[in-house]
Amino acid sequence: MTDQTPDISQQTAIMRGLRCRCPRCGEGALYTGFLTLRPACDRCGLPYDFADAGDGPAVFVILLAGFVVVFLALGVEFAYAPPYWVHIALWLPLILIVTLAPLRPLKGVLIALQYHHKAAEGRLMGKSE
């Protein structure tokens, strides 16, 4: 684990993550691409090697998007019974919006919370290698 001294509140960490900023200073960018994490903060130098959001953001987004889109699609189907092309025209753009838009901020929040809670790779106590 890096030399981290998280002296920020959990609320501050969440806000910095939502803004996709460095969890320590809140100024440096977190990503170089859409979801590609920088090696370190360009402002304070915090290395992001501790950060491993894994599949967490994708799982949360899938659950949220699935609920929203299925609920709305069923409501429209039962209320109006439109042809299939209307469903395609309505739900494909919505699926793209509700899946792609929250990925970056959600991954940023998970990384900021890892920093805040000093998360590290799991180790078994009492075992020596």
Q: What is the pLDDT of residue 2?
A: 47
- Please give the mean pLDDT across all residues of the chain: 90
Cα Rg, the chain, nearest whole Å: 19
3 state DSSP class of 124:
coil
**CA dihedral sign, ordered 116, 18, 106, 29:** negative
Q: What is the pTM of this model?
A: 0.84
Which residue type occupies 42?
A: D
> Does pLDDT of 40 surpass 80?
yes
Distance, in Å, from the CA atom of 47 to the CA atom of 45, rounded to the nearest integer, reads 6
For the segment 111-129, the average pLDDT, to the nearest whole number, is 78
Which alpha helices (H) appear in 1-129, and where do they start and end? Answer: 10-18, 56-80, 84-100, 103-116
Q: What is the pLDDT of residue 128?
A: 56
Q: Torsions phi, psi of 97, nearest 5?
A: -65, -50
Contact indicator for 17, 66 with CB cutoff of 8 Å: no
